[in-house]
Structure 1
Amino acid sequence: MAIDALEPHPLVRLLGKPAADFTGSDLVRAVEQLELRQVNLRYVGGDGRLKTLTFPINSRDHLLEVLTRGERVDGSSVFASTDTDASDVYIVPRHRTAFLNPFGERPSLDVLCSFYDEDGEPLSYAREQIVRRAAVALTEETGLTLEALGELEYYLVDEPERIYPVEEESGYQESAPFSKGQQVREQVLGHLTAMGVALKYVHGEVGNILEVDRQLVQHEIEFQPVPIEQAADNLVLAKWVVREVAYAHGLEATFAPSVSGEGAGNGLHIHSRLVRNGVSVIVRKDGLNDTGRRLIAGYLSAAKALTAFGNTVPTSYLRFTDGDESPEGICWGERDRSGLVRVPLAWSGDVLPAMVAHANPGSPHGGGPIIEPAIDPQTIEFRLADGSADVHLLLAGMAIAARRGLTDPDALDVAERLNTADHDDFEQLPKSCAESADLLEAEREMFEADGVFPSLLIDAVLSRLRKHHDAKLLKTLAKDDDARDELVRKHWHVG
């Protein structure tokens, strides 16, 4: 197949095929032609971060062996739920994920890996296997694929600038020189697209915070919708790239849900849609259909338990109480930013031609046809999570919640009851990690059904949440600014 001349992925251009068709032999050819010097096998650990195993290239056969067989690693050092007496596990490269590393000291090929146990079976508690099982279970029961994209927010921290100082809470899509960090944003965009991560755009976000000795400037990356397995990997890669680029500029980057007693925290809103045979099934001509409403009902009914994956540190719950646009209740609305679920404004085929013609007077339709996207762009925005989210577990949980909504005969009644247009008194999200753990434990059977979430992993999540001992923390912090600042700094580098 012909490769688009504007394709940003250098390996796709070089090999003349889409990344989904890459083979080990293809990657060997790329290494030879590009004169690369090493291979990095990467995987997502039990803490949700990207890990690295670096190999020299000793020969062509050695390279093909690494790219085909992968390697053994110590699972007990990667996952809290692994026993040390049975901890050897395999990591096997997924060739379709290969990219050129833009940061290393030596030119290298990087490939994401999947985990397998000693019998060659998918490792039950590995992040990428959990989200894959959740996606498969949803598709097997409903025939639908859940696609998702994240809105990843982060702050860059630097000394205050004397020239064009930032204005507090005025950073939304601001341009340089008023916006600080535009170079970082553009480099992040360039690296991610060259790695095969589909992005929509990057921009400055609202949060500008000025303190005595530093400024915090907020930014956002919005992705393109892809199947949830890929969406989770994209978010992990993006965090790594943001930190690497910021570090190279002498800046600190943080995805923390709460960064200061003033200003917005970092959310991680997830947009999603359901697709069958390349067609969105959540919309009709005049807006959201019943399938879309069922999806919303699934998310809202599981929302309290999903905080265990999407809001994993005590400062997550500070964000719920502090943020101007943080969810105020378990409800949803059309374009309503106060609810937990929002249905964003979508492009309408009825109004678009008139807008294009008005913006380009004298040139019908802007001088050419109006391009229609392959799949209807309408999404459903789930506004629960923040930068502390364990993104693979969160997206797996969302697939389980979607399955509940699609199969629950009462789902449409739930959606109607929780619509902000008709009511104004809704249940609230939990107030602490401790409460979140209790709510997950009450719903654990839903997540463990069909073996999607192993019971040992749920136990590990519960234990990690309860170790924060934060049941009464918010009340204490409301009276102690120093204790609050100390807690914020403790959870500064999450995810």
Structure 2
Amino acid sequence: MTTALPRAERASRAKVAATRIEAEGVHGVVLGFVDNAGVTRVKAVPVRGLEHAAEWGVGASPCFDSFLVDDSMAAGGGPLGDLRLVPDLAGLVPLAAQPGWAWAPVDRYAQDGTPYPGCQRWFARRMAEAVADRGLEVRAGIEAEWVVDGDGAGPAYGMRRMIGLSDYLRDLLKALAAQELTVLQIHPEYTVGQFEVSVAPSGPVEAADTALLVRTTVQAVSARHGLSASFAPAVAAGGVGNGAHVHLSLLRGGHTLFSGGSGPHGLTREAEAFLAGVLAELPALLALGAPSAASYLRLVPGRWSGPYRCWGLENREAALRLITGSTPEQANAEVKCFDGAANPYLAIGGILAAGLAGLDAAAVLPPEVSEDPATLPGVERLPTDLAGAAEAFRGSEVLKLALGADLHAAVLAVREGEAALFAGRSDEEIIAATRDRY
């Protein structure tokens, strides 16, 4: 496992970085992390405090592991203890839509300087390293879907909506480019006021970092245009919600394992086993990738949200969609059932853990579903509520082993806490309580 850099080296690098960004007009640095409820939490330091923060960390209570979406706490949360938030300077970037500010993802450490077992980012890193230990590489990306209030009228995917908010979208593209993010596409989505942006894939931890940076940028640009952006899985009762689909490909020696093989649609045996492992764990993975009571207002048939535990080539109702791409190197898989309430480190780390279990078992994919699964008998639905996902998560030995006892227990406590919090609430009440949290 990657070990933490020595404090002196972190401080030296931070001193250089602080000098550079201060010359660019930065006055403060936001230190960002995501709790087990999927809510982005922050602390911030003056730019001249970055060196000390990198060397010694910034204090933050472990109670954040127990926070529910409404800022109450699940069982186990309390006032005792302290952790250190240490910025990862590799992810430090001035924020184009928040002049005078920079942002960095953080790792959480115990007071003695060792990685904190409950840190979700360390979990994702461990899983990425386990993949690398097998001589494999994962490239991943998380799509961002969001809804803005204001003038978001117009048909789905329509030019009218693009025109109405063209200045807003132009400024978003400018901000993302200034932060050295490569945008692949941006477009109006299905529901009123909804948009989607996709950026270039990267390593697993970097993809989760990028997902946070993209959301931060969207929200900041929206605010500058007098808009409010929501990444919540459900924004209107009975409507299409926001997904956060995870795309990934598996490579060896720089070449994809998703084409050129003897398996279905050119999958190699390793790629098939990896995807079969993901498919096998999907009910439990929902507790990581669809972690809100609102997630299950989105995850219903007919909305292309992937509510069925099946796979298929370009099947947008299947939870696991295989994409061959226009060239062999573009082949990838998309986990469609995840949404914007997910902690991206937990989501990606969980997928990798499940895929590795599939590799260990030399798993084989079940028969492909090449039609709308809603029209076929016997196709399994994924859990239809948060309680069901939490129960599947409780029983997953794969995820329990991968997450470790502390992180698994903390996630389970939050899921069960939120299931109880929203039990008996109407769709409208759930949406009202969650729309502005993500």
TM over 0.5: yes
* Distance in 2 separating the partners of 1:377 and 1:283: 9
CA contact (8 A) 1:130 1:393 kept: yes
1:74 aligned residue: 60
Q: 2:73 is matched with which residue? A: none
CA contact (8 A) 1:171 1:179 kept: no
Rounded to whole Å, the distance in 1 between the matches of 2:111 and 2:27 is 30
Query: What is aligned with 1:199?
Result: 183
Find the structure with the greater CA-based Rg: 1
Pair 1:406–1:238, CA change in 2 (3 A) = same
- Structure 1 residue 277 and structure 2 residue 253: aligned? yes
Name the structure 1 match of 2:211: 235
- Give the 5 Å matches for 1:360-371: none
| Cα displacement (A) at 1:32 | 5.3
Q: CA contact under 8 A between 1:309 and 1:393: conserved in structure 2?
A: yes
Match of 2:43 in 1: 53
SS of the residue 1:321 aligns to:
coil
Deviations 1:235-270 (A, max 9, x none): 112222212221222212111222223431111111
Corresponding residue for residue 316 of structure 1: 295
**1:347–1:23 distance in 2 versus 1, CA, 3 Å:** farther
Q: Cα–Cα, structure 1 residues 179 and 485, in superposed 2: closer, same or farther, change >3 Å?
A: farther
C-alpha distance in 1 between matches for 2:85 and 2:245:
30
CA shift at 1:125, angstroms? Answer: 0.8
State the alpha-carbon separation in 2 of the partners of residues 486 and 25 from structure 1: 48
Say if 2:245 and 2:337, in contact at 8 Å, map to a contact too. yes
Specify the alignment match of 1:250 in structure 2.
226
How many angstroms does 1:484 deviate by?
2.3
In 1, the alpha carbon distance for the partners of 2:38 and 2:293 equals 17
1:386 aligns with 2:339: yes
How has the CA–CA distance of structure 1 residues 307 and 494 changed in structure 2, closer, same or farther, with 3 Å as cutoff?
Answer: farther
Residues 418 and 426, structure 1, Cα contact 8 Å, conserved in 2: no
What's the counterpart of residue 174 of structure 2? 190
Q: 1:296 to 1:102 in 2, by over 3 A?
A: same
Once the two structures are overlaid, the 10-residue window that deviates more, 266-275 or 243-252, is 243-252
The worse-fitting range, judged by mean Cα deviation, of 246-255 and 460-469 is 460-469
Summarize deviations over 1:34-54 as a string: whole Å, max 9, x none. 354344443444444444433
Residue 398 of structure 1: CA displacement?
0.1
Distance change in 2, residues 1:192/1:118 (3 Å):
same
1:396 equivalenced with 2:349 (yes/no): yes
Taking the TM superposition and a 5 Å limit, the aligned residue runs for 1:108-119 are 108-119=101-112
- Where do 1:142-161 residues align within 5 Å? 142-158=134-150
C-alpha distance after superposition, 1:150-207 (max 9, x if no partner): 12111111267xxxxx34xx322x3356654333333233223322334322211121
CA distance in 1, matches of 2:432, 2:214: 22
Identity of aligned residues (%): 24
| Counterpart residue type for residue 89 of structure 2 | H
Q: 1:465 aligns with which of 398, 401, 415?
A: 415
State the Cα deviation string for residues 188-228 of structure 1 (Å, max 9, x = none): 332233223343222111212xxxxxxxx110011211111
Question: Residue 339 of structure 2: SS of its match in structure 1?
Answer: coil
1:29–1:178 Cα change, 3 Å: closer
Q: Does 1:417 align with 2:367?
A: yes
In the alignment, is the contact (CA less than 8 A) between 1:101 and 1:109 conserved in 2? Answer: yes
Q: Deviations for 1:20-40, whole angstroms, at most 9, x for unmatched residues?
A: xx9435414413543543444
* Correspondence list, 1:88-487, <5 A: 88-104=82-98, 107-140=100-133, 142-158=134-150, 166-167=153-154, 170-172=155-157, 174-176=158-160, 179-208=163-192, 217-284=193-260, 287-321=266-300, 323-348=302-327, 376-409=329-362, 411-412=363-364, 415-420=365-370, 424=376, 425-443=378-396, 445-449=397-401, 452-469=402-419, 483-487=426-430
1:272 shift after superposition: 0.4
2:250 corresponds to which letter in structure 1? L
Structure 2 letter corresponding to 1:257: P
The one-letter code matched in structure 2 to 1:316 is: S
- Structure 1 residues 470, 323: CA separation in 2 closer, same or farther (over 3 Å shift)? farther
Asked if 1 retains the 8 angstrom alpha-carbon contact of 2:232 and 2:341, the reply is yes
Partner-residue secondary structure (3-state), 1:42: strand
What is the one-letter code of the residue matched to 2:139? E
Cα separation, partners in 2 of 1:264 and 1:42, compared to 1, 3 Å: closer
Counterparts of 1:30 and 1:274, CA distance in 2 = 36
Q: State the superposition RMSD in angstroms.
A: 2.9
- SS of the equivalent of 2:32 reads strand
Structure 1, unpaired ranges of 5+: 1-21, 161-165, 209-216, 350-375, 478-482
The 1:171–1:183 alpha-carbon spacing in structure 2 relative to 1, beyond 3 Å, is farther
Match of 1:146, as an amino acid?
A: V
TM-score by length of 1: 0.75
In the alignment, which residue of structure 1 is the partner of 2:431? 488
Q: 1:233, CA displacement in angstroms?
A: 1.2
